[in-house]
Amino acid sequence: MTGDADPGARRTVIENAHVLTCDAQWTEHARANILIENGDIVAVGPDARFEGEAPIEETIDATGLLAIPGLINAHFHSPANLMKGSLPGYPLEVFMLYEVPPLSDRPPPPELVRVRTLLGAIEMLKLGITAVQDDAFFTPYPDLPSIDALMQAYDDCGIRASAALDQPNVIEHEKYPFLYDLLPEDERRRIEAAPILPADELLALYDHLIDRWHGAAGGRLRAAVSCSAPQRVTEGYFAALSDLSRSHDLPFFIHILETKLQRVLGDQKYGKSLVQHVRDLGFLDHHVNVIHGIWIDEDDMAAIAEADAVIAHNPVCNLRLGSGVMPFRRIRDHGITVCLGTDEALADDSINLWSAVKMAGLIHNIGHVDYQAWPSAREILSCVFRGGARAMGLEQRIGCLAPGFAADIALLDLDSLAFTPLNDLERQLVYCEHGGSVRLAMVDGVVVMRDGRILSVDEAAIKSEARELMLEHEPILRQAAEHARTLEPYYRAMYLRAATSDVGMRRWMSDP
């Protein structure tokens, strides 16, 4: 029971739910009520009741439904939302050549940014994903209208989102080993002529993102920072981003050692791994989300653990691009927090975090001969909820159904085939559920999806706009693909040369 409250408070009750709180004790209630006031959970339990005369805005009958915290998609790139199924299997370096061609010359129109962002948010909310970290890239660079379109889309749909500007500011061939020498001189000149925003202009865009959007929508929208990867930015810009992260207490997204080629690059360019490079620069700290972290060694893991940084694991993307299998158990044994992400719709071909959850629960079974070291279902769920909350810097606000936490909640139908019969709730969440059981999604106490229908925006209209926009932009995409095909032989040669290099570790099932 709860005491009297402000008679003007906004109150909601979820009644008779089967509840998995995901708290420190992994408390589970076969039947419980969840009391929500002004967007926060105030009580959870079989006998929880509001006292006083303040009206209850809505009572949700959750009989036969499971209440869990909303899922947290801890790593994502919204600009690829319109590109599902667009590319065949490519390694990252070739994949990015087609996705983010080094020859683009104009920022994306705001309407395109708005629609593609909404499309992804709709998919996530319908799957019970209530929070996302968007490492948003803009080809070739962002501007104020495109930033505002991104954040306004997240505002309109009602999801919780932290967004960064993933923007390299060095010439393309400086990001890779071998490429400068492999490229013909005329192609080098074309690449070097591509527009790059100087650091001061990029930082001015960050000032706008933070001043206008950080803490907007009652704190539901937040800013983050991103350098994309250490080799993709100048050291001065890297330092400025680290300062921004620390001064505003923002997550810092850094793709580090996603591929073997990046391991080779670190050895060649810096004489050390990219993790050690970031540490030696003084930029590796608890704000950092190390994205992927596949080709890391024991020294790298020790450095990440010492810094209390987080590793964002994207297992489906890692397989889609052939990047390798992350050493999950060794990372966890170092005490490093792991969160889970879908990466992007082009590298996962969906935005279904449930797929990444199941893959994380499976792929690491072939990474350790001792089956007692394989990930448990609870460990994977901990990565989703606690790991995701920690990555966002919101570990006291989301990822748990307990008093004081935001009411970010997903309700799943226990009468679905995924839970019939109900043998082990945690294992069935990881290995059986695919998102089809989700019946309701709530963010900050507001129901944004019910029975497959988005309540905050017009899904049909947005899908129609998305189809029309893709038709309009098809000539641009076709031209970009032609440029990519011209350059692909040189990128392929670079990739194969790195693939056959000895880096002292294996992350593939077999090595060349």
What is the rounded average pLDDT of the residues 124-148? 96
Residue 479 inside a domain? The answer is no
Residues 343 and 427 in one domain: no
Q: How confident is the model at residue 3 (pLDDT cuts 50, 70, 90)?
A: very low
Residue 283 lies in a domain: yes
> Do residues 50 and 187 both lie within one domain?
no
pTM: 0.97
**Residue 380 — very low, low, confident or very high, per pLDDT cuts 50/70/90?**
very high
Instruction: Compute the distance between CA of residue 477 and CA of residue 76 in angstroms, rounded to an integer.
Output: 21
User: Are 46 and 75 part of one and the same domain?
Assistant: no
Q: Are residues 191 and 53 both part of a single domain?
A: no
pLDDT (tens digit per residue) in 145-167: 999 999 999 999 999 999 999 99
Residues 167 and 25 in one domain: no
Phi–psi pair at 161, nearest 5 degrees? -145, 140
Q: What was the pLDDT predicted at 5? A: 52
> Per-residue confidence at 8, pLDDT binned at 50, 70, 90?
confident
Q: What is the CATH number of the domain that holds 446?
A: 2.30.40.10
Contacts 24+ apart (CB under 8 A), 382-387: 382/22, 383/313, 383/338, 383/339, 383/340, 384/71, 384/72, 384/339, 384/340, 384/353, 384/357, 385/22, 385/69, 385/71, 385/72, 386/22, 386/337, 387/72, 387/74, 387/310, 387/337, 387/338, 387/339, 387/340
pLDDT in tens, 72-98: 999 999 999 999 999 999 999 999 999
Residue 4 has pLDDT above 60, yes or no: no
Return the pLDDT at 173: 96
228 and 137 in a common domain: yes
Look at residue 457 and tell me whether its pLDDT is greater than 60. Answer: yes
Residues 437 and 338 in one domain: no
401-451: pLDDT as tens digits: 999 999 999 999 999 999 999 999 999 999 999 999 999 999 999 999 999
Residues 215 and 115 in one domain: yes
Q: Are residues 135 and 219 in the same domain?
A: yes
Check whether residue 329 and residue 430 sit in a common domain: no
pLDDT of residue 472: 86
pLDDT digits (tens, 9 = 90+) for 344-377: 999 999 999 999 999 999 999 998 899 999 999 9
103 pLDDT band (50/70/90 cuts)?
low
Domain range for residue 33?
11-69+407-454
Structural domain includes residue 467: no
> Would residue 476 count as lying in a domain?
no
Residues 75 and 143 placed together within one structural domain of the fold: yes
Q: How many domains does the chain have?
A: 2
